[in-house]
Structure 1
Amino acid sequence: MNSFFRKNVKILLLLTVATFVSCKKENKDSYAKVSYDYTTSKFVGAETCKECHDTEVKSWEGSHHDLAMKIADSTTVLGNFNNSVFIHKDVKTSFYKKGDEFFVTTANKNGDPEEYKIVYTFGVTPLQQYIVAFPNGAFQCLLTAWDSVENKWFHLQKDVNLAHDEWLNWTGGASNWNTMCADCHSTNLKKNLTSQTGQYNTTFSEINVSCEACHGPASGHVAYYKNPITDVSPPKLYMDSHTGSKELVDKCARCHSRRTQITDYFDYQGEFMDHYIPRILEAPTYELDGQIKDEDYVYASFVQSKMYHNGVSCKDCHNVHSLKLKKSGNALCLDCHRSHYDSEEHHFHERGTEQSLCINCHMDGKIYMGNDYRRDHSFRIPRPDQSQIYGTPNACVSCHKDKSNDWAAKAIVKNYGTEREDHFSDYLLKGSNGDKTMLLTLMNTLSYPNIARATSMFHLINQGATKKEVGLIARHLKDASPLVRREAIMSIQKIRDASYVEQIIPLLDDSVRSVRMAAVTYIISLKINLNSNSSFKKAEKEYLKFLDLNSDFASGQLQIAEYLQTKGEIELAIKAYEKAIQIDSYYNTARMNLALLYYQKNEVSKSIELYEKVIELEPDFGYSYYMLGLLYNEIQNPKLALKYMATAIIKDPFNVNAHYNYALMLQANKKEQQAISVLINAVVTFPTNEKLLYAKLIAELNANDTKNAFVTCSKLLEISSQNETYRQILEQLKFTE
């Protein structure tokens, strides 16, 4: 479990810069927003659409969208319900029929056998899940699913030991249809959660992903064509054949992205980030270079690609109604790329073989949900040279499983030379491993993907940005990308820097809702009183609706608790943190915040108990050891303080504050040589961190190590040339020498 969550043949030839020969290029950085008033147009259903669009509807029928969800009956259920039994980790699950209805008996949240009626089917291939009804209008997806390729039952979390009552189990929030699945599997979905009672009244107009899920409510469209008005343009649908490439990708992103929903209903107004916040390229969802790791549902991968930046969109490869690829094999790629790429001189594999397919080199993938192989849509050139250093995946050794990254990297050099094409991943990898100059370059280079630029800010702040570096982040509060603007606000918020309030206040009126909400969270977290500001009050209402919408998530309760804390409602905040832990017993973010809150209330024993529980559940999470070390230091228990801080820098070597505070504690306990040793190792990772270097200088001076103190002080002056204190110390050290 990571951080706060429970978690053959010849060498591949690299693609050079792709030459597009037939795809229509579209280089617009922005597009006009569609104005479509869903309040005046109603959903009419696929059967109505079929009256005029029979070809399109027939193409859609039988597609993954059509079969996204169905009522469970003899025509839709694929699994073996003929009294079949599946046993996983001593849990027996039985599948059977009563008349025409389908049933399952399996362990409930208490671990006891309970019978449930199968209400809905979910998906079709390579797997089909089954949904049952729970109290309070909730529906849950079973984790025992049907492999529709191999025709067998299997468990979606076969390698994970799940407690019957935990969030990740089928009885918990992770498998709750209403909040985890429904928004993307049905049409005109309304979650309708009553947060005070936990009651759902979720509704949809069509059970599956039907025509209007993508095109928007169509009653106005239908009415116009039944009675056309001369010289009056027909009402524009939300998505049509004229939708531009970047606009289309953003609209598909609504469901094909790893994102947080921020509005209670998708009303077909505004843009993607008016309703959702996409996950940036952070662990554990992505590898350090941005490749897929956990499920990402395509969007964040695709917007990293040259395809996207050259005007290619989903519809260039996929039939928008059947969702099938337009052509098979390399023929699809050759619609845009020169035929040279489909040659042994390029891919170094025998033509016509599986190994010669473009996608197997440039769209490596992973298996999710037990048997669902999904490809990375960032269209990477394999980089085994990066894998050697950073341990990132590459397609070469993913195919040549008996070979090493070193073998692959040497083969690449042998065939293509030493030069690699410039790619943002070089900056992201070096930057996420401590090289701030790389992060700054990535952040400030507008030609790199916005999602990578936003991610650079995330890493820069987490590594302890200097005041100058924060100022460079603040410049992007006016960036053209809403994702970058939002991350700039969130980065400044993390360090609680109130000096940027005048620059962030205007963003309360930003054109994109998720940016406005970020500005609100900044204002709230710093307890800045803007109650008389109409823009703040309007944006705060949007934020409170978001909190209410997500109150059935542990993370939602966490945000509610944080909001209540800033308002001084401490007891209510404690209840919200406790509710978060009740929803997900492994949600350690809430425990960490609650532990700090208890410490601030001088309830130290409760704080220690919570930190120790985090360590029990996540023994490799370094930050808990760090916080416990600080706590023991505060209550003057140096033995335990040093013990936990020593563990913290081992568990999380990139926590600069852990190194710094550990060194200070060692100095305070007259362990100068140990302090110097800790700081030497830390400076290797953070060579330009002024705080670490200064602590190292003091430790060296205390140990009378004037030679090394001189070197350290010289480095400090290189970083801060106007610092008179450093200059005076250096002069004294010269005299000593």
Structure 2
Amino acid sequence: MSIVDLALIAIGSLASQVALARGTGWRRRGALALVTTLGPLAVALAMGRPWPRAMATSIDATPLRRTGLVRVGSESCRSCHPSEHASWGRSFHRTMTQRATLDEGGKRGTLLGPIPSGPVARGGGEVSLARSLEGVVWREAGKTDRRVVLTTGSHHYQAYWAEGARPGELSILPLVYLLADRRYVPRQAVFLTPEDDPPEELAWSASCIQCHAVAGEPHRGEFGERFDTSVAELGIACEACHGPGAAHVDKHRNPITRALAHASKTRDETIVNPKRLPPRERSLVCAQCHSLFVPKDEPRFWETGVATTTPERPFETRDLLTLATMRGSLKGRVDATPENFFWADGTIRVGGREANGLFESPCFEKGQGERTMSCSSCHAMHKGEPDDQLAPERRGDLMCTGCHGGVAARLEAHTHHAPASSGSRCVSCHMPKTTFALLGAIRSHRIESPSVTRAAESGRLPACNLCHLDRDLAWTHDAMRRWGSKENAPDKVQGRASAIAWLLAGDAAKRALAAAQFGDGEARAASGDAWMAPILATALTDPYAAVRYVAARSLQSLVPFSNVRYDFVGAGPARAAAQEVVLQRFQEARGGAKVPLEQRARVLLTPEGTVDEPRLRAFAATRDDRAVRISSRLAPA
């Protein structure tokens, strides 16, 4: 090896050390890029090996499972807790992270999508998933196959992780499988991200390991050159919520001890049972994952992760991110702007972080004793349906009327809606769908009463206007004043139907949320839907793929437009052509004639029922095109 070769290796090593010394993880976008580029590149040049597969994976990228010291794994729970084990087995928690396997010998594999017969995406060449002797591999033209090791998700879509450039590293693949659509699409298309952003580079051991496995430990090398990752178990399993189980298993091997424990009402100190925790601690168990946070101690995270032996005390190893802390004490800890995660009033607007909303809800903040609202006030991990895990005995208004019984006794007087209507459901008014995730709108978990003033100040529509899509804030203000509200009308609420304004002129998050509401059955019943097609059609050419997807789904749920051919990730001219088809079909079918005359102006139709194109274009011309990034993680590692 020549002196030049040695110098190249030294440069690569120095680049790694400098990058990591100056900041890692959530704070520096380029730090690990230097580690993964300059370091291996220098070695590759010196050793005469091809790039980018120069650093052959010498450590199996499959996370090593380590149990026995304090954690024992979910199988150890089955014999004493068969019902709970079975209900967990049916949950999407269990299948959140799995080893990637194919169907074999009549046994269903974990790969939910079929192996494609050809390329599934394009970008820098043809790419696809393929079958090999190693199982599933990621194939790119002109590059070495990479083994697909893990899958993430099994509910709405599934993502995939393949061997990365560094030994032991797992890197996200640039495609996902949409279960409802039965197709592969570019991964960026399912998040709210600008299409001209470069593909997201994400390492499993730097991000998803925090929540999608039990006791994940990245064990990154000293210079970031490798991962020797370990987990107690893949997926969200028993010990994620109940804490380490070894001491509990040892104690209860004796059948007499087990019998006494079942009869006892005291807390078993060898295990965490969320049901026996105070309400606030009960919710903190869920907040381990369902809150927005960063590791409190980054160097510790890169070694042993954020897991603790006390799941009810997650913020011993995590810092909670709020709008205030992202602008204050934790400013600079996250490579993202607060506006991507929060509305202007601090309400979380990204899904999966429901604890942030709960923590700011009066039912949580002002609750006393067992009357304090917690996650388990509505959800049950071992009784609810896997889709939403709502407790069967708490569905509908029952999740609220246990504490607010007086409201139930005078329901119509309280809601000003017919008792059987959606307007009388507690969640319709107090938990509007102002959170985006999973290509749809999710209910806000910041429980509050509708307020026009708050809506005008925060930019977050009140529940009224997310159901009455054709009405503006002035109408909402007048209705609430008639019902006894003392709020004064804020400025600039006149003249526009707010949901329409969101869809045509809002930022990408508002456009996606509005598009989802246009497909909501309750909103359609309140607003009528004969007028919706032209407005939804404008979103078929939206610059954000996720907005286009949601708008197309809502549009195609309208019977006259159910057979419109449209591909949200197809070519731009084809998307524009589909938009023209919708507008032409609406005009030819005289769709506007079915819209009540008094409603037409509000929904951008002429008195004759045709599309008011000048007003529609004027709305669209004011669209908020500031970049919005609501993705699956806080920042790259």
Displacement of 1:276 in angstroms is 0.3
Question: Pairwise mapping of residues 83-482 of structure 1 onto structure 2 (< 5 A)?
Answer: 83=117, 85-87=119-121, 93-98=127-132, 101-105=135-139, 115-136=145-166, 137-158=168-189, 160-161=193-194, 166=198, 169-170=199-200, 172=201, 175-227=202-254, 235-262=269-296, 263-264=300-301, 265=304, 266-269=307-310, 271-282=313-324, 283-284=338-339, 285-295=341-351, 297-309=353-365, 310=367, 311-321=372-382, 324-327=389-392, 328-338=395-405, 340-341=407-408, 343-366=411-434, 368-418=436-486
Q: TM-score, normalised by structure 1?
A: 0.46
SS at match of 1:141: strand
Aligned letter for 1:53?
A: H
Q: Give the length in aligned residue pairs.
A: 379
Aligned mates of 2:400, 2:363 — CA distance in 1: 11
The 1:61/1:374 distance shift into structure 2, 3 A limit, reads same
Aligned mates of 1:93, 1:354 — CA distance in 2: 46
Aligned mates of 1:53, 1:408 — CA distance in 2: 51
Aligned mates of 2:422, 2:130 — CA distance in 1: 40
2:76 is aligned with 1:48? yes
Aligned mates of 1:146, 1:224 — CA distance in 2: 44
CA contact (8 A) 2:171 2:203 kept: yes
Aligned mates of 2:440, 2:421 — CA distance in 1: 22
Residue 67 of structure 1, aligned match among 62, 80, 95: 95
**Equivalence for 2:620:** none
- Max Rg structure: 1
The 1:322/1:146 distance shift into structure 2, 3 A limit, reads farther
Displacement of 1:300 in angstroms is 1.4
Aligned mates of 1:620, 1:348 — CA distance in 2: 38
Displacement of 1:72 in angstroms is 1.6
CA contact (8 A) 1:187 1:213 kept: yes
CA contact (8 A) 1:81 1:95 kept: yes
Aligned mates of 2:233, 2:158 — CA distance in 1: 19
Q: Deviations over 1:663-715 (max 9, x none)?
A: xxxxxxxxxxxxxxxxxxxxxxxxxxxxxxxxxxxxxxxxxxxxxxxxxxxxx
Q: Deviations over 1:603-640 (max 9, x none)?
A: xxxxxxxxxxxxxxxx989xxxxxxxxxxxxxxxxxxx
The 1:296/1:209 distance shift into structure 2, 3 A limit, reads closer
The 1:303/1:143 distance shift into structure 2, 3 A limit, reads farther
The 1:357/1:72 distance shift into structure 2, 3 A limit, reads farther
CA contact (8 A) 1:127 1:371 kept: no
CA contact (8 A) 2:274 2:282 kept: no
Displacement of 1:410 in angstroms is 2.0
CA contact (8 A) 2:465 2:471 kept: yes
CA contact (8 A) 2:95 2:235 kept: yes
**Equivalence for 1:438:** none
The 1:389/1:318 distance shift into structure 2, 3 A limit, reads closer
The 1:335/1:211 distance shift into structure 2, 3 A limit, reads same
The 1:84/1:404 distance shift into structure 2, 3 A limit, reads farther
Q: Deviations over 1:524-559 (max 9, x none)?
A: xxxxxxxxxxxxxxxxxxxxxxxxxxxxxxxxxxxx
The 1:195/1:380 distance shift into structure 2, 3 A limit, reads farther
Q: Deviations over 1:469-516 (max 9, x none)?
A: xxxxxxxxxxxxxxxxxxxxxxxxxxxxxxxxxxxxxxxxxxxxxxxx
The 1:388/1:43 distance shift into structure 2, 3 A limit, reads closer
**Equivalence for 1:570:** none
Displacement of 1:306 in angstroms is 2.0
Aligned mates of 1:384, 1:86 — CA distance in 2: 46
CA contact (8 A) 1:385 1:405 kept: no
CA contact (8 A) 1:397 1:403 kept: yes
CA contact (8 A) 2:275 2:282 kept: no
Aligned letter for 1:123?
A: G
Aligned letter for 2:380?
A: N
Aligned mates of 2:626, 2:159 — CA distance in 1: 33
CA contact (8 A) 1:93 1:106 kept: yes
**Equivalence for 2:5:** none
Displacement of 1:291 in angstroms is 1.9
The 1:86/1:205 distance shift into structure 2, 3 A limit, reads same
Aligned mates of 1:402, 1:91 — CA distance in 2: 46
CA contact (8 A) 2:383 2:391 kept: no
Aligned letter for 1:302?
A: L
Displacement of 1:87 in angstroms is 4.0
Displacement of 1:122 in angstroms is 0.7
SS at match of 1:146: strand
SS at match of 1:255: coil
**Equivalence for 2:331:** none
The 1:317/1:39 distance shift into structure 2, 3 A limit, reads same
SS at match of 1:153: strand
Query: Identity of paired residues, percent?
Result: 22
Aligned mates of 1:251, 1:361 — CA distance in 2: 27
Aligned mates of 1:312, 1:153 — CA distance in 2: 40
Q: TM-score, normalised by structure 2?
A: 0.53
CA contact (8 A) 1:130 1:142 kept: yes
Aligned mates of 1:219, 1:127 — CA distance in 2: 34
Displacement of 1:88 in angstroms is 6.7
Structure 2 unmatched runs, 5+: 1-26, 30-65, 262-266, 325-337, 489-624, 628-637
Aligned letter for 1:274?
A: E
SS at match of 2:80: coil
Displacement of 1:126 in angstroms is 1.7
Say which is worse superposed, 361-370 or 402-411, in terms of deviation.
361-370
Structure number with the higher helix fraction is: 1
